Structure 1
Amino acid sequence: MTSLQMRLDRIRDRVTSEEFLHGRGLGNDVPFYAFDYPSASEEQVNNHIEWLLDDLSRKTALHVGVVNMLELAVDQLKKRDLYTKALTMERSKGVAALLSALKGPLEPGKMAAALLDKFDAKPIDMLFLTGVGPAYPLIRTHSLLNNLQPLLGSVPLVLFFPGRFSGQSLQLFGDMQETPYYRAFRLVD
């Protein structure tokens, strides 16, 4: 079995390849990729992503968009003056009531649009999505990806996913119920 560090070390070559950047070999499928990893390795993966972004900015002309999903959710709530209210609601009414109340403001279509708004001024060559685990259950990954499909066009997306991706389904943290999502490809094996 390939170690996580060996898989991380192969990301740079993969995301700088012509095949990846131009969606070659995908037929008409969307260029969405998942890099799954054990949730206990979140810090190792985040450190590698930080190194990778620095390396790509110094050694290539590629523009990589990075969005931490939890930070995006918090930003959206703050923009609508709902963040403090959400914290108060969680304390007074509980998590279930909070999640119900946030379904509208954090609806996947709105989150997809907010995500893309971050890159209006500067086109990107690829998009990295991080912070998926901490954003759960506020943001459901498969719903967000479904909403991003028609909006991203040919821009490759890499989902850094703390759990398992079988090629057919996403299983957050490796122990939650599987969610069918068959439109993505494994970034590296």
Structure 2
Amino acid sequence: MMAGLEERLDKMELAIRKQTFRENSGRANEVNFWVFDYDPKKELEVRERIEYMKKKNEKGTEGFQLIVFDLYDMIMEYLEEKDFVNSYGRFEKRRGFDYIIRAVSTSMKMNEDDSILIRKIVEQTPENAVVFLTGVGKCYPLLRSHKILNNLHQSVLKASVVLFFPGTYTEQELILFNEIKDDNYYRAFKLVK
């Protein structure tokens, strides 16, 4: 039986504080990639807890840096920097949303090991850090969770990573919003059950 959200968040917070969590010695000595899944209806509670943990970590007493990347915000920043937001609106009206998904994916190299998002995450993650990836639900269908996880596995990122996933993760499949199955294999571990 799965514990309640608050209890799971407490356990997660305790887990990331442990030095062994940050030693990058997961199963078969892989980099530690973790998925914290939760009921999508609890999104705001999860966001509040992450913000609380981030502020608490800023005091510098934890022994590591907590770095939070909201994937949706990163995509929007890129599109705004390139002044693509208005263009994509016009393209969507003429060519449809599937065209926008392909255009954004191509522009940001989403399917490549060195995608724009992966490079930013690697460049902005200091030594001795724990990385939280958020905003997965807001990104759908522009970005699929498996792309980020698989591309990060190929990167030189040396930090432990926690992907906050609004849905269910069975260690076999990700089911976004408890409705949309992703039929890819993941090398990530469920952080707290």
In structure 2, the gaps of 5 or more residues are: none
CA distance in 1, matches of 2:191, 2:100: 34
1:95 alignment partner, one of 83, 94, 97 = 97
Given that residues 11 and 192 in structure 2 are in contact (C-alpha distance below 8 angstroms), is that contact kept between their aligned partners in structure 1?
Answer: yes
**Residues 1-46 of structure 1, C-alpha deviations (whole Å, 9 max, x = no match):** 3111110111111001122011345232221000000111100100
* Equivalent residue, structure 2, for 1:84: 86
Identity of aligned residues (%): 29
Query: What is the TM-score when the length of structure 2 is the normalising length?
Result: 0.88
CA distance in 1, matches of 2:99, 2:177: 24
Name the amino acid aligned to 1:167. Answer: E
Number of residue pairs aligned between Structure 1 and Structure 2: 187
Counterparts in 2 of 1:35-74, with a 5 A limit? 35-58=36-59, 59-74=61-76
Name the amino acid aligned to 2:180. Answer: M
Q: Cα–Cα, structure 1 residues 112 and 25, in superposed 2: closer, same or farther, change >3 Å? A: closer
Residue 124 of structure 1, CA deviation: 5.1
Query: What is the TM-score when the length of structure 1 is the normalising length?
Result: 0.90
| More moved, 37-46 vs 104-113 | 104-113
CA distance in 1, matches of 2:133, 2:34: 10
**Residues 44-76 of structure 1, C-alpha deviations (whole Å, 9 max, x = no match):** 100011111122222323112111011111111
* Equivalent residue, structure 1, for 2:142: 138
Answer yes or no: is 1:127 the counterpart of 2:131.
yes
Name the amino acid aligned to 1:160. Answer: F
Answer yes or no: is 1:180 the counterpart of 2:181.
no
CA distance in 2, matches of 1:157, 1:75: 22
Q: Cα–Cα, structure 1 residues 124 and 107, in superposed 2: closer, same or farther, change >3 Å? A: farther
Answer yes or no: is 1:116 the counterpart of 2:115.
no
Q: Which runs of 4+ in 1 moved over 4 A?
A: none
Q: Cα–Cα, structure 1 residues 171 and 25, in superposed 2: closer, same or farther, change >3 Å? A: same
C-alpha RMSD of the superposition:
1.8
* Equivalent residue, structure 2, for 1:165: 169
Given that residues 26 and 32 in structure 2 are in contact (C-alpha distance below 8 angstroms), is that contact kept between their aligned partners in structure 1?
Answer: no
Give SS of 1:103's match.
helix
**Residues 68-104 of structure 1, C-alpha deviations (whole Å, 9 max, x = no match):** 0111111111222212211222234321221122221
Given that residues 137 and 176 in structure 2 are in contact (C-alpha distance below 8 angstroms), is that contact kept between their aligned partners in structure 1?
Answer: yes
Q: Cα–Cα, structure 1 residues 116 and 83, in superposed 2: closer, same or farther, change >3 Å? A: farther
CA distance in 1, matches of 2:58, 2:27: 26
